[in-house]
């Protein structure tokens, strides 16, 4: 079952995933995909981000906020959406809250995916992407029909320049340093839920049950329904 089907007819889902998610069929805003697309298109933001990403560093708050704000502005208030990879810092988190509050679309759920580090590394090493579309393939559980080529366009797939063990270790250390304050921030707002597992088969049912429990529409009494 796709995530969009999980919450069809429910209250609007405004979700942040912290961890290493798989793809879900909702309006997914991936900070990494946005950055790579801008780098591929050689935009001003892409040029600013390229050097930092190559060295395993995180991109500045200013650039990230500009990218995410532009994407959120394209999504209607009744649509479900999911943020992946943003916010990464407290400055980004508070700026995001301010932006969402202004349009009455505050975050209503933050899911922290607790996946072992060795599992994440293997997933990264098996990953290939189609840069123009942002489609992601994994040679273990979601391989392309023809190795090395996008299923839709037939164009060559690429490895992300930062998909290697050395950069992974650097990014993981920085990730832990930045994530702990974020988890505390969202935990204090009572919208944080942590889910643990090694694979999507283990985590996906937990997400499904959580979403359907949290966002199930209130039952309308029969007498009211007939009015």
pLDDT band for position 21 (cuts 50, 70, 90): very low
Residue 6 lies in a domain: no
Q: Say how far apart CA 84 and CA 16 lie, in whole Å.
A: 6
Give the pLDDT mean for 194-209. 85
> How far is CA 191 from each of CA 177, 197, 208, rounded to the nearest angstrom?
21, 20, 16
Q: Does 216 have pLDDT greater than 70? A: no
The domain spanning residue 133 has which CATH number?
A: 3.40.50.300
Q: Say how far apart CA 45 and CA 96 lie, in whole Å.
A: 19
pLDDT on residue 186: 93
**∠ CA 60-131-200, rounded to 5°:** 85
Residue 215 lies in a domain: no
Residue 2 lies in a domain: no
pLDDT on residue 149: 96
Q: 């992601």: which residue's tokens?
A: 136
pLDDT tens-digit readout, 130-169: 988 888 898 888 899 999 999 999 999 998 887 888 888 8
Range(s) of the domain holding residue 111: 12-209
Residue 56 lies in a domain: yes
Q: pLDDT over 70 for what percent of the chain? A: 81
Residue 4 lies in a domain: no
Instruction: Provide the domain count of the chain.
Output: 1
Q: Determine the straight-line distance between the first and last CA of the chain, rounded to whole angstroms.
A: 34
pLDDT tens-digit readout, 22-70: 444 567 888 878 888 888 888 888 888 887 777 666 688 888 888 888 8
Residue 214 lies in a domain: no
The alpha carbons of the chain give a radius of gyration, in whole angstroms, of 18
Q: Say how far apart CA 84 and CA 71 lie, in whole Å.
A: 12
Dihedral, 45, 90, 199, 190 alpha carbons, nearest 10: -140
Q: Which secondary-structure segment (H or E) carries 209?
A: helix 200-215
pLDDT tens-digit readout, 68-120: 888 888 877 777 888 888 888 899 999 999 988 887 888 888 988 888 878 88
Task: Please indicate whether residue 121 or residue 182 has the higher confidence score (pLDDT).
Answer: 182
Q: Does 184 have pLDDT greater than 90? A: yes
Residue 64 lies in a domain: yes
Rounded to two decimals, the pTM is 0.64
| CB-based burial label for 142 (10 Å; 0-12, 13-18, 19+) | middle
Q: 């023809």: which residue's tokens?
A: 146
pLDDT band for position 227 (cuts 50, 70, 90): very low
Residue 219 lies in a domain: no
């Amino acid at each position: 079952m796709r995530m969009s089907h999980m919450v069809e007819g429910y209250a609007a889902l405004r979700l942040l995933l912290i961890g290493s998610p798989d793809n879900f069929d909702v309006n997914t805003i991936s900070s990494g995909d946005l950055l790579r697309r801008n780098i591929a298109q050689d935009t001003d933001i892409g040029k600013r981000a390229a050097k930092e990403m190559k060295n395993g560093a995180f991109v500045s708050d200013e650039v990230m906020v500009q990218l995410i704000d532009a994407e959120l502005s394209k999504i209607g208030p009744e649509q479900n959406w999911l943020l992946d990879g943003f916010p990464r810092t407290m400055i980004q988190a508070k700026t995001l809250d301010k932006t969402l509050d202004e349009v009455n679309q505050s975050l209503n759920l933050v899911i922290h995916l607790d996946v072992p580090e060795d599992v994440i590394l293997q997933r990264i090493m098996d990953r290939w992407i189609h840069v123009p579309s942002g489609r992601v393939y994994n040679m273990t559980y979601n391989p392309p029909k023809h190795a090395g080529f996008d299923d839709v366009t037939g164009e060559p797939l690429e490895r992300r320049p930062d998909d290697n063990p050395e950069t992974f270790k650097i990014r993981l250390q920085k990730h832990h340093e930045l994530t702990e304050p974020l988890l505390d921030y969202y935990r204090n707002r009572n919208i944080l839920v942590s889910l643990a597992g090694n694979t999507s088969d283990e985590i996906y049912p937990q997400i499904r049950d959580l979403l359907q429990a949290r966002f199930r529409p209130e039952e309308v009494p029969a007498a009211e329904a007939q009015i």
